[in-house]
Amino acid sequence: MRLRNKPWAKDKIAAYPQHVIPDPEAQRGRWRELFGNDGPIHVEIGTGKGKFLTEMGRLHPDMNFIGIELYPSVLVSALDKLIESGLPNVKLLNANAKDLTAFFAEGEVARIYLNFSDPWPKKRHEKRRLTHRGFLSLYERVLAEDGDIHLKTDNQSFFEYSLVSLSQYGFVLAAVQLDLHRSDVVGNVMTEYEEKFSLKGNRIYRCEAVRPPRRP
């Protein structure tokens, strides 16, 4: 993905600390206090322009949503949507997913969304894939006992790799859709990429994977 640089993005992000949390490490284990309720914490890694996250926040006011996005020039679009919506149950982080365990305590997260993650197709980049076992070990630590991962992609190779990686690590595949938009899944909220790829006729792959039992 080629990004258009927005040199003003960091300043705008810093101007809205109520939406883009500037010190997520300080909230570790205390996110429900920040939201002011006992609702479950759902995290989207690679939230992009924020369409999925804000729509989920609107549809599920009893849940709390946190979007993690590495690139400020992308995150400002999600910030604009959040400012416009005024949703109290959605927060954003301008951060790297590799630091996930610094932001969330053990078992603090109920669900992780991986929507159209970069497939990093070259073998030498395997460790960068968000379903590589290195990332799965982070998810395992922050997910609750019955927590799960919801993944969507249009990349068949990445999807197949993810199914194998999740299974080998110990995650239980609770649902697999090889053509999401022709399946019986209800309430699907589309991302920007999902809309774009669907219009091109691309098949959308989806799975749900439940975390393995906590290890002693």
From 23, 80, 118, 154, the catalytic residue? 118
- Nearest by Cα to 112 from 134, 141, 79, 83: 141
Locate all alpha helices (DSSP H) within 143-191, ordered by sequence.
156-169
Say which amino acid occupies 52: F
Strand partners, 112: 43, 149
Strand partners, 153: 205
Q: Does 184 participate in catalysis according to the annotation?
A: no
Residue with tokens 């989207």: 44
Residue 63 and residue 180: Cα distance in Å, rounded? 24
Residue 127 and residue 46: Cα distance in Å, rounded? 16
Sheet holding 172-177, edge to edge: 90-94, 64-69, 41-45, 109-115, 143-153, 205-210, 172-177
Go through the chain and tell me how many residues it has: 216
Residue 62 and residue 38: Cα distance in Å, rounded? 9
DSSP type of residue 157:
H
Residue 83 and residue 178: Cα distance in Å, rounded? 35
Residues with a known catalytic role: 118
